[in-house]
Amino acid sequence: MPPTELATTLVVLDLVGIFVFAVTGALVAVRKNLDLFAALVLGGVTGLGGGFVRDVLIGATPPAALADWRYLMVPVAAGLLTFAFHPVIGRLERVVTLFDAFGLALFCVTGALKAVDYGLGPLPAALLGMVTGIGGGILRDVLAGRVPVIFEGALYATPALTGALVAVLLDRADLPLGVVAAAGFSTCLGFRLLALVRGWRAPLPKGPANV
Amino acid sequence: MPPTELATTLVVLDLVGIFVFAVTGALVAVRKNLDLFAALVLGGVTGLGGGFVRDVLIGATPPAALADWRYLMVPVAAGLLTFAFHPVIGRLERVVTLFDAFGLALFCVTGALKAVDYGLGPLPAALLGMVTGIGGGILRDVLAGRVPVIFEGALYATPALTGALVAVLLDRADLPLGVVAAAGFSTCLGFRLLALVRGWRAPLPKGPANV
Amino acid sequence: MPPTELATTLVVLDLVGIFVFAVTGALVAVRKNLDLFAALVLGGVTGLGGGFVRDVLIGATPPAALADWRYLMVPVAAGLLTFAFHPVIGRLERVVTLFDAFGLALFCVTGALKAVDYGLGPLPAALLGMVTGIGGGILRDVLAGRVPVIFEGALYATPALTGALVAVLLDRADLPLGVVAAAGFSTCLGFRLLALVRGWRAPLPKGPANV
């Protein structure tokens, strides 16, 4: 692809990821019987929050999404649609989960590579890639007054960290950006989908917790 | 007014807004039976948190309030007074709500104009104005372990966004700062007070949420 | 001590403080029956979160801990150990509390002095020292879905603020760094341990809260 097409593809993929994340945020608001504004805020926070946390931590402020109205409009559209059609979207839970895995795979790679661009080492960059992927969902759950779902056994952050690490290490090996991104993306997506299909869970603590 | 008087007026207004917001934060602490320190922290977070989030996002760090001891002392005073006299202040709920609307109207305008000063476009600047107005209250509720009250139907963020938008658009039209600020402020305040008087609520989701 | 040894000592102390804080974070995760990943995240957030909040507020991004793999590995080790041996560590609660007081005393001083280095005045610098000491624990509790324990009467933040203030004021008096740090550290540690031994509590609100 010529460079312009590649850039366009990346923006479109990014917007799709933000859209799906925002749908999960707005669904949480609806299921807690919160109002339309909460659906928009939780949608926006879920879609953009991970990137905002990354940008604030690496000093890339103001975050790019604040300079591009498309990035602000996409979660608004997702929030409005989810608020209006939540009974339908709620029944499509499996489709939402699938697309959510896609967004996770995308954000962990783009987040990690942006951190590398800002001069961070491989390990912190991979961590920030993971934060980009999972941060929005954590903020969503905290704002909705529940313990983040990814703390209760779902295998979600580990695929993100693995995909980010693959991308960062291949990037260090000076492979072309397309290869780097595709490898990190596929690793995270494949790992996440396998975990969903096989029912893999993160380990829970054993023994008495003697609170 | 000569410029010095205007600047003094602005600082005084700002401090009044922070004071009232801090009172609402300390009241939440008292009502949750939290300790004096919690009253001070929730007061400080409610009064200054929205501006801190805005400043971190636009890269205006350290936030101005950290460089001016008056901005730090006002929430302390509000927290101490509320902690000591909460039975009286709690009975003045309507007065607190009125002043809170005043603080909201002030912060959404000053927040939006500061974001414009830092080079943000009209839509992101208006969003950050809204964040300046509502962010402190959201942080207060999250720290106090409750779902943000503005997610449950209160018409609070919409007036802030509207007032911020009015200010940003008039500022683009190169009107004098006094006019810009007065118009944004009155829009937000009028909208918020109307919502309170008429009992307007943000829409809640319809239909089964099929959790 | 020659300068190199002093620097090494400081890093070792810092890592010990982060380790203990991370243990308290992972213990909260285990006691809430959250998964291994939650133990690592809550450990990391508790150990590093206070410093991250300080660095973001003073504009020292990316935070130093992100540039040094040792700072990232220590909470991981603490989280893994706590997850595996929580019944033993849980029984050592008093030891953990003791080391936690040590971490608090260390972080309030290093945090305050870093804020001074970034040009903040005495009062904001002392506040940021307190934030460095208590911020990680507050984030831990919010992420774990509970009201921050330090809001419910524990005398924890006041020693941190006092120690930070002592360090900042002595630093202003141009005393040698070793004296400044030792005085601030001892003030906070002594105050905190006295509060623990004597059962001192922060005041709770009096009278009806008329919710």
**C-alpha A39: how far from its chain's center?**
18
Distance CA C179, CA A115 (A): 39
Strand partners, A201: A154
Percent of chain A with pLDDT over 70: 95
Tokens of A9: 């593809």
In this prediction, residue B23 carries a pLDDT of 95
Q: Do C37 and A202 touch (CB under 8 A)?
A: yes
- Say yes or no: C150 contacts chain B, CB-CB below 8 A: yes
Q: What is the mean pLDDT of residues A29-33?
A: 94
Q: Are B112 and B90 in contact (CB under 8 A)?
A: no
- Tally B–C CB contacts below 8 A: 93
Q: Which residues 78-97 of A are in CB contact (within 8 Å) with B?
A: 83, 86-87, 90-91
Asked whether residue A203 is domain-assigned, the answer is no
Chain C nearest C-alpha distance from B91 (Å): 8
List the Cα angle B157/B163/B165 in 5-degree steps: 100
Judge if the upstream peptide bond of residue C75 is cis by omega within 30 degrees of 0.
Answer: no
Q: Are C111 and C168 in contact (CB under 8 A)?
A: no
Asked whether residue A210 is domain-assigned, the answer is no
Helices (H), A149-176: 157-172
Q: Do A209 and C144 touch (CB under 8 A)?
A: no
Q: Which residue of B has its CA nearest to A40?
A: B151
Query: Best of C151, C192, C204 to disrupt the B interface by mutation (most B CBs within 10 Å)?
Result: C151
- B6 has a pLDDT exceeding 70: no
What does pLDDT average to over chain B? 92
DSSP A205: P
Distance CA A189, CA A194 (A): 8
- A110 has a pLDDT exceeding 50: yes
Chain C nearest C-alpha distance from A119 (Å): 9
Percent of chain A with pLDDT over 90: 81
Q: Are C139 and C150 in contact (CB under 8 A)?
A: no
DSSP B205: P
- Tally A–C CB contacts below 8 A: 91
Asked whether residue C210 is domain-assigned, the answer is no
- Say yes or no: C145 contacts chain A, CB-CB below 8 A: yes
Chain B nearest C-alpha distance from C29 (Å): 17
What 3 state SS string does chain C have? CCHHHHHHHHHHHHHHHHHHHHHHHHHHHHHCCCCHHHHHHHHHHHHHHHHHHHHHHHCCCCCHHHHCHHHHHHHHHHHHHHHHHHHHHHHCHHHHHHHHHHHHHHHHHHHHHHHHHCCCCHHHHHHHHHHHHHHHHHHHHHHCCCCCHHHCCECCHHHHHHHHHHHHHHHHCCCCHHHHHHHHHHHHHHHHHHHHHHCCECCCCCCCCCC
Asked whether residue C211 is domain-assigned, the answer is no
DSSP A112: H
Compute CA distances B27 → A192, B85, B88, C118, whole Å: 45, 10, 11, 34
Q: Do B151 and A35 touch (CB under 8 A)?
A: yes
DSSP A201: B
pLDDT tens readout for residues C128-185: 999 999 999 999 999 999 999 999 988 999 999 999 999 999 999 999 999 999 999 9
Q: Are C151 and B37 in contact (CB under 8 A)?
A: yes
Q: State the burial class of residue B58 (Cβ atoms within 10 Å of its Cβ: 0-12, 13-18, 19+).
A: buried
Strand partners, A154: A201
Asked whether residue C205 is domain-assigned, the answer is no
pLDDT tens readout for residues A158-202: 999 999 999 999 999 999 999 999 999 999 999 999 999 999 999
Which has the higher per-residue pLDDT, A207 or A85?
A85
Q: Which residues 161-200 of B are in CB contact (within 8 Å) with A?
A: none
What 3 state SS string does A61-84 have? CCCHHHHCHHHHHHHHHHHHHHHH
Q: Are C65 and C149 in contact (CB under 8 A)?
A: no
Residues of C whose CB is below 8 A from B30: 205, 209
Print the domain residue range for A16: 3-198
Residues of C whose CB is below 8 A from A150: 37-38
In this prediction, residue C6 carries a pLDDT of 64
Q: Which residues 55-74 of C are in CB contact (within 8 Å) with A?
A: 56, 59, 61-63, 66-67, 69, 72
In this prediction, residue B92 carries a pLDDT of 86
Chain B nearest C-alpha distance from C53 (Å): 10
Query: Best of A33, A35, A88, A149 to disrupt the B interface by mutation (most B CBs within 10 Å)?
Result: A35
Asked whether residue A208 is domain-assigned, the answer is no
Q: Which residue of B has its CA nearest to C155?
A: B37
Q: Which residue of B has its CA nearest to A62?
A: B58
Going by pLDDT thresholds of 50, 70 and 90, the confidence category of residue A92 is confident
- A157 has a pLDDT exceeding 50: yes
Q: What is the mean pLDDT of residues B172-189?
A: 95
Q: Do B57 and A62 touch (CB under 8 A)?
A: yes
- A4 has a pLDDT exceeding 80: no
In degrees and rounded to multiples of 5, residue C201 shows phi and psi of: -130, 150
Residues of A whose CB is below 8 A from C62: 57-59, 118, 120, 124
Residues of A whose CB is below 8 A from C144: 147
Going by pLDDT thresholds of 50, 70 and 90, the confidence category of residue B64 is confident
List the Cα angle A186/A190/A193 in 5-degree steps: 140
Distance CA B195, CA A15 (A): 34
Q: Which residue type does B146 have? A: R
Going by pLDDT thresholds of 50, 70 and 90, the confidence category of residue B4 is low
Q: How many structural domains does chain C have?
A: 1
Residue ranges in chain C whose pLDDT is less than 50: 211
Asked whether residue C110 is domain-assigned, the answer is yes
Distance CA A206, CA B32 (A): 34
Distance CA A137, CA A150 (A): 8
Chain B nearest C-alpha distance from A73 (Å): 10
Number of residues in chain B: 211
Distance CA C175, CA A35 (A): 57
Residues of A whose CB is below 8 A from B59: 59, 61-62
| Chain B neighbors (3+ CB pairs < 8 Å) | A, C
In this prediction, residue C2 carries a pLDDT of 57
- B76 has a pLDDT exceeding 50: yes
**C-alpha B2: how far from its chain's center?**
27
Q: Do B67 and C120 touch (CB under 8 A)?
A: yes
In this prediction, residue C133 carries a pLDDT of 97
In this prediction, residue A211 carries a pLDDT of 47
